[in-house]
Amino acid sequence: MSFNNNSHKVLFADSVVASQTSNLIRELAKLLKQNHIDIGEKELYSWLLECGNYQNQR
User: CB–CB of 34/27 below 8 Å?
Assistant: no
pLDDT value, residue 58? 56
The mean per-residue pLDDT over the stretch 15-32 comes to 73
- Residues 3-10, mean pLDDT to the nearest whole number: 66
| pLDDT 10s digits, 28-46 | 888 889 888 898 999 988 8
Contacts of 23 (CB under 8 A, 6+ apart): 16
> What's the average model confidence in pLDDT over 7-15?
72
What is the rounded CA–CA span in Å between residue 54 and residue 34?
21
Residue 2 has a pLDDT of 53
What residue ranges do the domains of the chain occupy?
6-51
pLDDT for the residue 43? 92
Please name the residues in contact with 9: beta carbons below 8 A apart, sequence gap of 6 or more: 3
